[in-house]
């Protein structure tokens, strides 16, 4: 294709008369093109935010596609008010149908996007416009209560601080204030970027300087809904898939902060969607953290680079997306994308499966000690053997001195490094219990969901428990493999809270999500147990106060007891292959 037509700032009218600014890329003079839509809250005209995520629109046009790129409602050149999640289903529906009606379209439309762009994809999917034939969602969420705003009942402080600050830079330009006041508000936002640690430290969390800034107030509504209620259900993609029969290409990374959304989405499509969607969905999971796809090292998971065969971003997603959309929207007659394609870390190779998770045997590894599992220098150990009668392990959790976020599924680049980061230093703390297996005499391969069950007692009416699975390499480097958190008041579910009776024993389930990893010969399997992961999550102040409220003056130090006996066998369940 020699010539490309680019139309800028075309107004597309929504059902409520709000007009959204839209760019159109298409082969000059061509008609009846398969059409793909990308809806963007971060400036449609920013080549980096458009081309650096999945596919460059110009590359797609060269393959015969028309590409529609749009500023979402209330962002940059589009009209309306920015209200995250709320309007994306209706606006996605209207944009897809508008695109299908254009003379340069063949009437068959797909949508694609990553991160919040992926939110617009999935919301359009559940809106189910007649002309939508296929979707591609990458590194995004599906249930925005779980894994986006709250995880295990704890507030995703680090991500939401970063994301609300990022969005505020455009929001501030739309405020109905004087230029003098606007300038002051912009200066405040710039100050926040210079000192993000100070913002994270401020209490109460919901009243910190960022979340009370006029351009970043949307988080206030989320604090009003800490439980999973109708507010979240109305925008939960996994709750709205009945009758939806649109094929989905679903891609994530083992160290992506939004991994839970993709795992939930795959399961929900399999159980609730129509037969075509269920049978034709595809899942790809690589070794990536969230930011790898917009860097020069798209094969990265934190400090580790996995090589060019593991590269994500446009290096992998461009070809995938063009093959996917050509098959469903155009003239493609063959689809060579496996049903499930996942990266087996440790072995560092791609695997395929007919479905997720692949066949495995849930295998418990039990916590043991002589009552002194504190730090990596303690006597905690991990074993498939069940405990009998053992001393309780105890530690003091002080909200004024939380365990720092170190690697894992995090997204707060100003404060911590996501992905693979050595956790050796974390394990020197007395408020981190460490349980380690014997050195492996043969590889241990896992692929599937990881869960921990802890039997605990605490001196507080509420507290958190955090579990981290670690691969201890022969040189002592401690690789975070997967992790989970549970706020104790939500131990029985996320619809309502139930506070604890100090000193009483409780069972605390911790969803550590899924992973594919091989612990090699000579390595050790380790589980860390503690009560904080800050600033990824807000600090639990160990008090019976609403989420996001309370200061260090209100906080109390909690004495945490972890049991491992025949009656209370704390363990981590590994999906052994």
Kindly list the catalytic residues. Answer: 115, 256, 290
Q: How many whole angstroms separate alpha carbon 23 and alpha carbon 129?
A: 21
Distance CA 493, CA 509 (A): 10
Backbone angles phi, psi at 473, to 5 degrees: -80, 160
CB 277 within 8 A of CB 246: yes
Please spell the DSSP secondary structure of 214-244, one letter per residue: TTSTHHHHHHT--S--HHHHTT-GGGS-TT-
Chain position carrying tokens 């059902």: 15
| Contact indicator for 235, 123 with CB cutoff of 8 Å | yes
Alpha carbon 65 to its chain's center: 30
Rg from Cα positions in the chain: 24
Q: Are 314 and 56 in contact (CB under 8 A)?
A: yes
* DSSP strands (E only) in 81-235: 105-114, 132-138, 150-151, 154-155
β-strands 248-255, 132-138: how paired?
A: parallel
CA-closest candidate to residue 139, choices 344, 298, 347:
298
For the stretch 306-342, what's the b/e string if a residue is b when 16 or more beta carbons lie within 10 angstroms of its beta carbon? Answer: beeebbbbbebbbebbbbbbbbbbbeeeeeebeebbb
Instruction: Yes or no: say if 281 and 247 are a contact pair by the CB < 8 Å rule.
Output: yes
CA end-to-end distance (rounded Å), the chain: 48
3-class DSSP state of 94: helix
Distance in angstroms (rounded) separating the CA atoms of residues 42 and 34: 25
Contact (CB, 8 A) for 72 and 91: yes
Ramachandran angles phi, psi of 405, nearest 5°:
-60, 130
- Count CB-CB contacts under 10 A for residue 548: 21
Which has the closest alpha carbon to 59: 46, 50, 70? 50
Length of the chain: 577
Say how far apart CA 495 and CA 113 lie, in whole Å.
30
Instruction: Output the six-digit token pair for 18.
Output: 């709000």
Q: Which two tokens stand for residue 297?
A: 């090292």
Q: Which residue has the tokens 């800050």?
A: 534
Q: Give every CB contact of residue 279 below 8 A, 6+ residues apart in sequence.
A: none
CB 505 within 8 Å of CB 527: no
Got the DSSP string for 252-317?
EEEE-TTHHHHHHHHHHHHHHS-HHHHHH-EEEEEEEEGGGGGSS-TTEEBTEE--GGG--HHHHH
C-alpha 158/C-alpha 133 separation (Å) is 36
């Amino acid at each position: 294709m020699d010539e490309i037509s680019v139309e800028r700032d075309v107004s597309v009218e929504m059902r409520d008369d709000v007009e959204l600014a839209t760019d159109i890329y298409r082969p000059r003079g061509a008609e009846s093109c398969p059409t793909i839509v990308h809806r963007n809250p971060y400036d449609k005209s920013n080549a980096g935010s458009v081309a650096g995520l999945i596919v460059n629109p110009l590359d797609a046009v060269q393959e015969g596609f028309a590409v529609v790129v749009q500023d979402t409602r209330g962002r940059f050149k589009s009209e309306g008010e920015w209200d995250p999640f709320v309007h994306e289903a209706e606006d996605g529906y209207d944009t897809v149908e508008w695109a299908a009606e254009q003379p340069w379209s063949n009437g068959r439309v797909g949508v694609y996007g990553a991160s919040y762009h992926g939110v617009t994809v999935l919301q359009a999917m559940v809106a189910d416009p007649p002309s939508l034939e296929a979707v591609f969602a990458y590194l995004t969420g599906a249930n925005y209560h779980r894994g986006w705003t709250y995880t295990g009942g704890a507030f995703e402080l680090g991500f939401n601080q970063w994301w609300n600050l990022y969005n505020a830079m455009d929001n501030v330009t739309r405020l109905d204030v004087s230029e003098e006041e606007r300038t002051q508000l912009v200066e405040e936002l710039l100050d926040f970027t210079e000192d993000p640690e100070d913002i994270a430290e401020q209490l109460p969390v919901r009243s910190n300087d960022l979340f009370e800034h006029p351009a970043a107030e949307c988080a206030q509504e989320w604090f009003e809904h800490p439980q999973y209620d109708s507010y979240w259900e109305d925008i939960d993609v996994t709750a709205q898939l009945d009758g939806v029969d649109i094929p989905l290409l679903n891609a994530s990374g083992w160290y992506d902060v939004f991994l839970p959304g993709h795992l939930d989405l795959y399961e929900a499509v399999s159980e609730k969607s129509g037969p075509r969607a269920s049978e034709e969905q595809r899942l790809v999971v690589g070794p990536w953290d969230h930011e790898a796809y917009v860097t020069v090292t798209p094969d990265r998971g934190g400090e580790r680079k996995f090589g060019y065969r593991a590269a994500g971003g446009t290096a992998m997603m461009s070809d995938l997306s063009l093959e996917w959309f050509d098959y469903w929207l155009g003239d493609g007659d063959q689809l060579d994308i496996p049903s499930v394609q996942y990266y087996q870390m440790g072995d560092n190779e791609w695997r395929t499966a007919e479905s997720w998770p692949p066949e495995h045997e849930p295998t418990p590894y039990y916590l043991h000690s002589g009552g002194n599992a504190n730090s990596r220098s303690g006597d905690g150990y991990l074993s498939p053997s069940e405990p009998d009668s053992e001393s309780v392990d105890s530690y003091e959790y002080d909200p004024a001195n939380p365990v720092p976020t170190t690697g894992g599924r995090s997204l707060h680049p100003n404060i911590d490094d996501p992905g693979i980061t050595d956790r050796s230093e974390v394990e020197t703390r007395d408020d981190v219990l460490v349980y380690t297996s014997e050195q492996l005499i043969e590889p241990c391969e896992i692929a599937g969901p990881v869960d921990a069950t802890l039997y605990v007692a605490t001196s507080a009416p509420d507290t958190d428990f955090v579990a981290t699975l670690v691969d201890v390499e022969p040189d002592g480097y401690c690789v975070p493999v997967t992790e989970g958190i549970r706020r104790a008041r939500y131990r029985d579910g996320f619809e309502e809270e139930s506070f604890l009776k100090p000193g009483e024993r409780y069972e605390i389930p911790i969803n550590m999500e899924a992973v594919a990893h091989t612990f090699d010969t000579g390595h050790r399997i380790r589980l860390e147990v503690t009560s904080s992961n800050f600033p990824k999550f807000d600090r639990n102040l160990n008090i019976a106060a609403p989420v996001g409220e309370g200061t260090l003056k209100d906080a109390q130090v909690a004495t945490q007891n972890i049991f491992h006996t025949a009656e209370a066998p704390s363990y981590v369940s590994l999906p052994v292959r």
